[in-house]
Amino acid sequence: MRASAEAPCKAIITGEHFVVHGAWALVAALGKKVKVDVEQADRFQLRSDRRSISRAALAPAESVVETMAHEFSFKPNLRIQISSEVPDGAGLGSSASTMVALAAAISRLKSLGLGRREVIDFAMVGEKEIHGHPSGIDVNICATGGVLLFKMGARPKQVRLSGQATLLIVQSGRKRQTRKLIDRVATTKSRYPGLFEGLAESASEVSRMAADRLSAGDTEGLGRLLTFNHAVLSFIGASNERLDGLVDTLLSLGCKGAKLTGAGGGGSVIALAAEGKEKSTISELKRRGFDAFEAKIPVGGVRSWLRP
Ligand code: MEV
């Protein structure tokens, strides 16, 4: 018997970094997925289709398996194959999708009947090993899907959209650096504590407003909030010349708004293209050497199935 699970990746629309310090953030699941296949074997085997993923990078996934095996008293002699459509180091949550799909696939194989919350808790074991003290936003969206307003310690709120929306996802060509960037932002916070508190409050307000604009299909209003949020992220140290330059390029191509997404320092930029100009904007970006794709939202969360 083989169990499989697929989890979407994600893009943070507004509020990254501040979410680690208690603010609300807005996040969407994207259609690119990580798939995990699990079957019984005579010993533990973990493989990834990504040659770039080293044994050390697979260690957090192994910790998820060991924690589940300990909790539910089974031997971790499983053959696990990870297949990913999600670019690594792009700030799109490939590790969170992997951990969520892994926990869901094991739950399915072992008939554990885990609910979404438990899948999230097991996935967090791997995420903490990779990122130190993540807020949990990535695993929550990969498990739940759709669009979420998320705050640590609060019940996530699903944001309903009046129709489909399209985000442009543009890769900067540099890897994002989550741990380093979280530390850099913490330094900014200790240097300007009062100002940081005000910015975190404003990030919550920006995220709530962005959720309203997105639900209403107001892409002009949403775009302005994205660009504003990028400027603030830049101030707290999450951006760099390459990301700022990419945001400027996107605005000069007529986009309604653009910002870095995820930890920053590299990774991806999200943007809202001018009406009907998604494909031509992507072609122009490719001509300038940037990898870019269109992401339609909302998309569903993790799902799992069994095959004899
Ligand atoms: C990473 O996708 C988002 C950050 O806010 C970190 C976190 O929330 O764990 C930078």
Is the C-beta atom of 263 inside 6 A of ligand 1? yes
Residue 263 Cα to ligand 1 middle (Å): 6
What are the pLDDT digits (tens) for 26-69? 999 999 999 999 999 999 999 998 765 656 678 999 999 999 99
Point out which residues pair with 145 in neighbouring strands: 300
As a whole number of angstroms, the distance between CA 167 and CA 148 comes to 15
User: CA 246 → CA 41, 149, 254, 259, 279, distances in Å?
Assistant: 47, 26, 13, 9, 17
Mean pLDDT, range 116-124, rounded to an integer: 98
CATH numbers and ranges of domains, the chain: 2-159 (3.30.230.10), 165-297 (3.30.70.890)
Is the C-beta atom of 16 inside 6 A of ligand 1? yes
Q: What is the residue whose two structure tokens read 């996934």?
A: 61
User: CA 112 → CA 74, 115, 126, 140, distances in Å?
Assistant: 11, 9, 19, 20
What are the pLDDT digits (tens) for 147-163? 999 999 999 999 999 89
Is 138 tagged catalytic? yes
Q: Specify the pLDDT at position 54.
A: 59
Residue with the smallest CA separation from ligand 1 atom 8 is 135
HEC assignment per residue over 53-91: CCHHHHHHHHHHHHHHHHHHCCCCCEEEEEEECCCCCCC
Is the C-beta atom of 138 inside 6 A of ligand 1? yes
H helix runs in the chain, sequence order: 55-72, 94-109, 116-131, 137-144, 178-191, 193-216, 219-235, 241-252, 278-287
**What's the chain's length in residues?**
308
Residue 111 Cα to ligand 1 middle (Å): 31
What are the pLDDT digits (tens) for 253-278? 999 999 999 999 999 999 999 999 99
| Mean pLDDT score across all residues of the chain | 95
Mean pLDDT, range 104-121, rounded to an integer: 98
Residue with the smallest CA separation from ligand 1 atom 2 is 262
pLDDT band, residue 178 (cuts 50/70/90) = confident
Which tokens go with 151?
Answer: 């705050």
Catalytic residue among 37, 49, 138, 248: 138
Which tokens go with 107?
Answer: 């739950």
Is the C-beta atom of 185 inside 6 A of ligand 1? no
Nearest to 250 by CA among 236, 268, 269: 269
pLDDT at 223 > cutoff 80: yes
Is the C-beta atom of 267 inside 6 A of ligand 1? no
Q: Which atom of ligand 1 is nearest to the CA of 185?
A: 10
Is the C-beta atom of 262 inside 6 A of ligand 1? yes
pTM attached to this predicted model: 0.97
Residue 181 Cα to ligand 1 middle (Å): 9
What backbone torsions phi and psi does residue 256 show, to the nearest 5 degrees?
-80, -15
Q: Which atom of ligand 1 is nearest to the CA of 238?
A: 10
What backbone torsions phi and psi does residue 295 show, to the nearest 5 degrees?
-125, 120
